């Protein structure tokens, strides 16, 4: 799973207004949709500061890899490892007005944006180099041509606005919802194609709940004053959209849309329920779907969506789909027209005139993320090109920034972590020999992908114009959608990647049983060949361990080595595992990240398991790398201390409260401070490294420490 941002719960559609968001954190309030296919893909949220030298103990003159200038000497690691390591940096650092979150991960993300900008601008200057260079340059130019965009205003959307206005009945409404599956818009029902969770060699279409503008249903339903503030901001935003589009009674229409979305929110499953792969696997025939939700003309919906010959599909949230059919028929057509108009205006606002861009930023940027200033236009342009032509840029990125030696070193590192995992499984006290053997089989079947895909995406069918930004966005979205639905009826392409090489992240995909590390994460500060082994194992080592561990978290452990949703556990071992994870839920439930707002230990369980197991495995791998030799003391720090300092400093970050609120209700990752504290508090090695005793704030009795993998 990624190490840092949001991922699809039950089939998130490829909609990306903020491309290349870290997949370990939801990029703190930015409603990030990464171009990922699997509903169950897991991402790491680790921000790392150094990699491993992988050849035994570091010498005394080797850099420690620990940024002691960021320490807070007034905080003891025995009381709070996170603030001991990062407190000085936090006190000294001011969030830039355009950022909701900064930290180690964001630093590398910004560096890669600069690199992508250079690649894009070079392509724009040399369009004759290739057809892809021409498209890259034209798309970038179309975004940067502010004068033309301002002159056009909302003209590019007039055909679609007219289509909405022309709706005369609910049958036409349903047909439009089907047609809009290829648009970069959120509608109440989304369609996806991915490997069948119970037959991972075959593809399966499915539908899932969608259609809310705010991060989670809590924003519509909870009484918390912070959510009420967001609701009022959303109403102002909707009013501004209708006013800019010159609709009559904009405030009244805004209320209509909000109330309709609120009803959708009441019908939707919680994010915790959506994490359950058994609950969200409901394969139905078309006849069964019609019985479940008789108020929708399903043949029309699927025909307009470009998949008219479906024999069966997965319905991720059956209760929602059934209730949605009733809602479609019970609400006036005019209300649905206002809703669709708002979705259209909101979806395309980033690509329209300044008034629309500003209105959108006032809501998503200021109200939901707490930022005070819009990102520079070039950054938004780069994100858009990354979103639409990601692998075309990635091909050039790899040539410039990913030497073969980096891939070889990463392979060695992963091998060390896998060896540690195999040893750890063999010594688990809570697992029986039969389940232990099955776990070893699954681990042996992992596929490893490093750097970049063997086969690059073909963009030849994607039409891009230097003078039509909205058209380009439509074409790029339709291209991604066509690529997705073309998979139906074909064997799963196991060579495909869910991230581009320039994405600073990593992931585990249970239906393919693969761990994937894009090139961008394999460089400083993540991959530093000069850094000490200890700090690097605490950094990138824990990240790799995190991804490996997702195959054995509460979700991933329900899939076998072939990627099928299939129980390979004995009932007794599963019960023991669930008893352990219940303790982990309780631990993280106890962390108060904002006044009156605690971490949801059930929502974050998978990532917390991966953080805890990843740290434990990384430590074991570090010990293996020493080959029985003592680690040197560097800068007054023992090897074990540097390991935990390295782990804590990768989570160095600063986040605005509004963005943190969004993360707490919608993101499966715990906030960074608690990722460092929570996992360290369960590590026996941490207690030995810092001589932690009763009375220290991080102390946990040995019997209370949660040891999973």
Whose structure tokens read 């709070």? 80
pLDDT of residue 525: 65
Lowest mean pLDDT among 19-23, 274-278, 421-425: 19-23
Is pLDDT above 60 for 579?
A: yes
Q: What is the DSSP letter of 632?
A: P
d(CA 282, CA 38) in angstroms, rounded, equals: 16
Is pLDDT above 50 for 20?
A: no
- Summarised one tens digit per residue, pLDDT across range 128-150 is 999 999 999 999 999 999 999 99
> Considering only CA atoms, which of 618, 653, 409, 637 is closest in space to residue 528?
409
Question: 413-442 burial by CB neighbour count: b if 16+ within 10 A, else e?
Answer: bbebbbebbeebbeebeebeeebeebbeeb
Average pLDDT over residues 583-588: 98
% of residues, the chain, pLDDT over 90: 85
Whose structure tokens read 């949660």? 706
Rounded to the nearest angstrom, the gap between the alpha carbon of residue 294 and the centroid of all alpha carbons in its chain is 34
- Summarised one tens digit per residue, pLDDT across range 312-354 is 999 999 999 999 999 999 999 999 999 999 999 999 999 999 9
Cβ proximity of 171 and 300 under 8 Å: yes
pLDDT category at 105 given cuts 50, 70, 90 is confident
d(CA 98, CA 194) in angstroms, rounded, equals: 36
Is pLDDT above 90 for 118?
A: yes
d(CA 185, CA 180) in angstroms, rounded, equals: 7
Query: Which positions ≥6 away from 560 have C-beta within 8 Å?
Result: 438, 442, 566, 568
Number of neighbours of residue 583 by Cβ within 10 angstroms = 14
Which residues belong to the active site?
A: 547, 611
Average pLDDT over residues 36-41: 49
Q: What is the DSSP letter of 364?
A: I
Cβ proximity of 177 and 188 under 8 Å: yes
- Summarised one tens digit per residue, pLDDT across range 262-308 is 999 999 999 999 999 999 999 999 999 999 999 999 999 999 999 99
pLDDT of residue 115: 96
pLDDT of residue 46: 35
Is pLDDT above 50 for 22?
A: no
DSSP string, 462-529: ----TT-HHHHHHHHHHHHHHHHHTTTTSB--TT--SS-TT-S--EEETTTTEEEEEGGGSSTTTS-T
- Summarised one tens digit per residue, pLDDT across range 509-527 is 999 999 999 999 877 666 6
Average pLDDT over residues 178-188: 97
pLDDT of residue 41: 58
Is pLDDT above 70 for 614?
A: yes
pLDDT of residue 406: 82
d(CA 391, CA 387) in angstroms, rounded, equals: 9
d(CA 396, CA 458) in angstroms, rounded, equals: 14
pLDDT category at 8 given cuts 50, 70, 90 is very low
Mean predicted lDDT score pLDDT of the chain: 91
- Predicted TM-score (pTM) of the model is 0.91
Average pLDDT over residues 635-646: 96
Whose structure tokens read 């560097």? 634
Average pLDDT over residues 178-190: 97
d(CA 70, CA 532) in angstroms, rounded, equals: 18
- Summarised one tens digit per residue, pLDDT across range 60-78 is 356 888 989 999 999 999 9
pLDDT of residue 364: 98
């Amino acid at each position: 799973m990624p190490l840092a941002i949001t991922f699809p719960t039950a089939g998130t559609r490829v909609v990306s207004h903020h491309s290349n968001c870290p997949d370990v954190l939801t990029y703190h309030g930015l409603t990030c949709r990464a171009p990922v296919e699997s509903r169950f893909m897991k991402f790491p949220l680790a921000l790392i500061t150094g990699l491993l030298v992988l050849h035994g103990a570091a010498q005394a003159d080797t850099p420690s890899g620990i940024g002691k200038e960021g320490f807070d000497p007034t905080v003891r690691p025995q009381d709070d490892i996170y603030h001991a390591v990062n407190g000085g940096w936090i006190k000294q650092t001011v969030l830039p007005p355009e950022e909701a979150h900064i930290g180690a991960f964001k630093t590398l993300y910004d560096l890669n944006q600069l690199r992508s900008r250079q690649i894009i601008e070079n392509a724009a200057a040399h369009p004759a180099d290739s057809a892809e260079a021409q498209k890259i340059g034209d798309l970038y130019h179309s975004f940067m041509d502010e004068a033309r965009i301002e002159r056009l205003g909302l003209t590019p959307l007039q055909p679609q606005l007219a289509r909405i206005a022309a709706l005369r009945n609910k049958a036409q409404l349903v047909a439009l919802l089907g047609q809009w599956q290829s648009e970069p818009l959120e509608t109440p029902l989304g369609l996806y194609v991915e490997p069948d969770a119970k037959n991972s060699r075959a593809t399966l279409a499915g539908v899932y709940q969608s259609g809310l503008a705010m991060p989670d249903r809590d924003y519509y339903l909870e009484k918390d004053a912070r959510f009420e503030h967001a609701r009022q901001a959303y109403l102002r935003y909707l009013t501004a959209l209708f006013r800019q589009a010159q609709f009559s009674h904009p405030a009244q229409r805004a209320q209509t849309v909000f109330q309709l979305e609120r009803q959708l929110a009441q019908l939707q499953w919680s994010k915790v329920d959506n994490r359950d792969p058994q609950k969200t696997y409901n394969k139905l025939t078309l006849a069964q779907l019609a019985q479940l939700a008789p108020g929708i003309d399903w043949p029309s919906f699927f025909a307009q969506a470009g998949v008219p010959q479906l024999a069966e599909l997965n319905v991720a949230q059956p209760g929602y789909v059934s209730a949605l059919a009733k809602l479609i028929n019970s609400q006036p057509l005019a209300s649905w027209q206002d809703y669709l108009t708002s979705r259209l205006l909101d979806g395309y606002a980033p690509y329209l005139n300044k008034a629309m861009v500003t209105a959108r930023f006032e809501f998503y940027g200021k109200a939901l993320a707490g930022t005070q200033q819009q990102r520079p236009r070039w950054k938004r342009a780069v994100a858009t090109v990354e979103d639409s032509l990601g692998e075309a840029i990635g091909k050039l990125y790899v040539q410039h920034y990913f030497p073969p030696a980096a891939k070889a070193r990463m392979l060695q590192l992963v091998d060390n972590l896998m060896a540690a995992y195999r040893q750890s499984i063999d010594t688990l006290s809570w697992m029986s020999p039969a389940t232990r053997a099955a776990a070893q089989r699954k681990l042996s079947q992992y596929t490893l992908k490093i750097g970049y895909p063997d086969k690059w995406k073909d963009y030849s069918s994607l039409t891009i114009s230097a003078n039509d930004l909205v058209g380009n966005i439509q074409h790029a979205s339709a291209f991604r959608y066509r690529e997705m639905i073309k998979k139906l009826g074909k064997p799963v392409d196991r060579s495909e990647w869910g991230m581009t090489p320039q994405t600073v992240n990593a992931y585990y995909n249970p239906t393919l049983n693969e761990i994937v590390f894009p090139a961008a994460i394999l460089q400083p500060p993540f991959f530093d060949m000069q850094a000490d082994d200890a700090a690097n194992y605490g950094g990138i080592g824990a990240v790799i361990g995190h991804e490996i561990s997702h195959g054995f978290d509460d979700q991933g452990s329900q899939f076998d080595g072939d990627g099928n949703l299939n129980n390979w556990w004995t009932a007794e071992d599963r019960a023991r595992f669930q008893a352990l994870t219940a303790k982990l839920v309780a631990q993280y439930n106890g962390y108060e990240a904002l006044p009156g707002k605690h971490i949801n230990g059930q929502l974050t369980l998978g990532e917390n398991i991966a953080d805890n197991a990843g740290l434990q495995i990384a430590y074991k791998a570090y010990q293996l790398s020493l080959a029985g030799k003592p680690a040197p003391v560097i800068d007054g720090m023992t090897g074990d201390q540097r390991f935990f300092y390295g782990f804590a400093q990768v989570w160095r970050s600063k986040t605005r409260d509004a963005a943190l609120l969004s993360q707490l209700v919608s993101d499966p990752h715990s906030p960074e401070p608690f990722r460092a504290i929570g996992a360290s508090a369960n590590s026996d090695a941490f207690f030995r490294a810092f001589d932690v005793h009763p009375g220290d704030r991080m102390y946990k009795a040995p019997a209370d420490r949660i040891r999973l993998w």
